[in-house]
A and B are shown apart, each in its own frame.
Chain A
Amino acid sequence: MTASNTLAPGLNTGTPAGQAAAQAGARPRRPLLPWAAGPAWFLAALVTWRWPDADDFPDTNLLAALFAAIGLGLLATAALRRLSARAPWAIALGLGFTVWEVAQAKLLWLPRPFFGTPQDLLDVFLTDWKRLGDSLLHSLGLLAVGYGIGAVLGVAIGVGLGRSPRFRYWVRPLIRLVGPLPPVALLPLAFVLIPSGRLASEALLALAAGFPTTILTWSGVAAVDPAYYDVARTMGARNRFLVLRVALPAAMPQIFVGLFMGLGVSFATLVVAEMLGVKSGLGFYMQWAQGWAAYPNMYAALLVMSLMCTGLVSLLFKVRDRVLSWQKDGLKW
C-alpha cells in the first residue's frame, strides 16, 4: 500500500539529490534484518506442524505448508535484496501468526466459535471461495455503478454550483435539504419507491458519493482565482474552455478530497444496503455468517472487504497522484 512516487519529474525537487547524499554518507553495509523474515514464518510453520492441535481443526498441515512457502518466498526476496523497507512488517506478521496459532489452535485461550484459528480462516477460503468471490464481485459491481454515477454527477453539479448563479439559486436549497442526510436513512424509502433492490442501492450509493463530491467541487470551483479566468478570457476563451480547462483543473485537488470522502460514505452505505436490501455481496455474506454463527466466515468476509476497500482507496490515490503530479506535495496513502 505504498503510494507511487510520481511527483514532479526531473528538475530540482530535492528528493533524489537528498537520497543520493544520504547513501553516499552512510557506509555501505548489508542489512541483516531482511534475512530474519523467512525464519519468522518457518517458526510459524514449525509450530503449526509439530505442536498438536487442541481440537480437531481442519487443514493444519496445509497451513503449515503455506507458512513455509511464504517463508521461502521471503528468503528469496531477501536474496534478491527487495525486502529492506518491508522486512520489519514481514517479521512481525510471521511472529503474529505464530502467536495466534499457539494461543488459539494449540492452547485455546479464547472461547470458540467467536474467535477462530488461522486454519479456520484458511478453511473458509478453501471451501467457500466461490461464494466469497461471488460476493466480492457483486459488491464491486454495485460500488462501481453507484459510486461512478455519484462521482460524475457530483463533479458536474459542483461545477454548476460554482459557476452559475441561476443553477445555484435552484439547486442549492435541494442540496442543503437532502445532502447532509445519511444515505442509509433513505434506505427503507428507497426500497419501497424503487422496485428493484439493486437499482435502489445504486441510487443510494450515488447519493452517498455525490454529496461530498458536490460540496468539495463547489468549494474548489468557487475558490478559483478570478485572474485565471481573466488570462484565458483575454485570449478569447469561451465558457466551455473556462469550465473544462480552467475551473476543473484548478479545483482538482479539492475534487479529489470530495471523491475520497464520497468513497468512505459509499463503503458504509454499501454494507447496509447489502444487508437490508439486495441480499448479495459481502455485506449480505457477513449477515448470513452471523445468522449461522459461522464466525470464521465472517472474519474471512471482513478480510476480503477490508482488502477491497483499501485497494479502492489506493487506486483513487494512484489516480490522484497522476492527475495532481503538478502539486508541490501531497499526502502519501
Chain B
Amino acid sequence: MVTTPTHPAHPLGLALHHIDHGYAIGGTDTPVLDDISLTIAPGEFVALLGPSGCGKSTLLRLIAGLEPPRAGTILAEGTPITGPGPDRIVMFQDPTLYPWRTVRGNVALGHDIAGRKDPASVDAAIELVGLKGFERAWPHQLSGGMAQRAALARALVNDPRLLILDEPLGKLDSLTRLTMQTELQRLWRDRGFTAIMVTHDVEEALLLATRIIVFSPRPARIIGDLPIDLPPHRHRDDPRLLDLRKNILTQLGHSADW
C-alpha cells in the first residue's frame, strides 16, 4: 500500500486553541508551551523550527494525544483529542525500536496491534527506507541511521492521516538524507496525509514544507508563521528560498549575514 499512489486520501485537519503546558522539574514548575494557537489545514506539510529544548517534542506529544495539555484544546476535524489513535502516527525523536522484535516485526507493529495481516505493505515500507535484506536483523545490529529509517517505515505502514515526525532524518548522513527527503515529499504528495515535522535543518524545512512555524526559546511561543508558496521539486539555490532562509535565521536569533 505504501507505494500505491491511488490511495484514498483523508488528510486530517487540526486546530490548537491557546495551548499551555509545563512540567514540574525538581520541585519547580517549568512552563514549556505558552499560548500556542495554530490551525493546520488537511494536507499541509508544516515544519516546526525552534531552539533546542523549547518544547517542540512536547507539542507533538500533545497533538498525538499522549498527554493532555494543561490548558487549551486540540481539535482534530472539530472533535477534541482525548487520547492517541492510529490515524495520528508519530515517528519519535529516538527510534525506540523494540529490541525483542526483528526489523520486520518492528515495522509490522501497527498491523499486529490492529490485528491486521498485510505482509506486502510491510515489505514495501522496508524497501522504501532502504532496509531490504535487513528484515531479520535485530535492532542492536543496526546503525543509528538504519534504526531511524526502520522507525520511519514503522510509522508509514499505518497509513496515517496525520504523520507526526520528530526530527525524522536527524541521524542520517547527508546523502541518505537527500534521498529520504525526496521520498518523504513523494509519499506526502502521493498519499496525501497531513505532515507535521520538527527539524533543526532550515534547508530541509524549506525544501519540504508548505509552511514553517518558528518558535521562541522555552516556553515556546509562535514567533513566525511563513507560508512557502513554492511548487514541490524546489531547487536548493532558488533565490526565494535563500531569502526565506535569511528571514528564518534572523527570527531564530542568528545574524542575517550568516
Contacts and interface: CB of A to CB of B under 8 A. Distances in A.
Contacts of B102: 326
A241 B141 CA distance: 26
Interface stretch (B22-30, B80-88, B183-191, B219-227): B80-88
A225 B98 CA distance: 10
Contact of B140 (A10, A250, A252, A328): A328
B110 interface: yes
Contacts of A105: none
A328 B100 CA distance: 11
Interface in A216-271: 225, 227-228, 230-237, 241, 245-246, 249-250, 252
Nearest to B138: A326
B138 A8 contact: yes
B126 to A, nearest CB: 15
A234 B141 contact: no
Contact of B113 (A10, A13, A227, A235): A235
A9 B83 CA distance: 39
A233 B100 contact: no
Interface string A1-28: 0000000111111000000000000000
B89 to A, nearest CB: 6
Contacts of A9: 136
B86 A228 contact: no
Given A231-B96, A234-B89, A12 B109 contact: no
B92 A236 contact: no
21 contacts: A8-B138, A10-B136, A225-B96, A227-B92, A227-B94, A230-B64, A230-B84, A230-B90, A231-B109, A232-B109, A233-B83, A234-B64, A235-B84, A235-B89, A235-B110, A246-B98, A249-B98, A249-B100, A326-B99, A326-B102, A326-B138
B114 A236 contact: yes
B158 interface: yes
Contact of A236 (B94, B113, B141): B113
A150 to B, nearest CB: 24
A241 to B, nearest CB: 6
Contact of A232 (B88, B113, B141): B113
A230 B88 CA distance: 12
Nearest to A329: B140
Interface size bracket, A side: 20 to 34
A12 B143 CA distance: 12
The interface centre, meaning the residue of B88, B99, B100, B110 with most chain A CB atoms within 10 A of its CB, is B100
A168 B110 CA distance: 30
Given A228-B96, A245-B112, A236 B85 contact: yes
A246 B102 CA distance: 14
B137 interface: yes
A236 B113 CA distance: 7
Nearest to B142: A11
Contacts of A234: 64-66, 84-86, 88-90
Interface in B171-188: none
Given A8-B141, A227-B92, A237 B136 contact: no
Given A231-B96, A235-B109, A246-B98, 13 more contacts: A11-B137, A13-B141, A228-B98, A230-B61, A230-B66, A230-B84, A233-B83, A235-B86, A236-B110, A236-B114, A237-B113, A252-B100, A326-B140
A115 to B, nearest CB: 51
A232 B96 CA distance: 11
Interface in B54-109: 61, 64-66, 83-86, 88-90, 92, 94, 96, 98-102, 109
Interface in A275-333: 326-328
A235 B91 CA distance: 11
B66 A233 contact: yes
A248 B88 CA distance: 26
Contacts of B141: 8, 11-13
A250 B102 CA distance: 14
Interface string B134-165: 00111011000000000000100010000000
Nearest to A229: B66
Nearest to B89: A234
Contacts of B84: 230, 233-236
Contacts of B101: 326
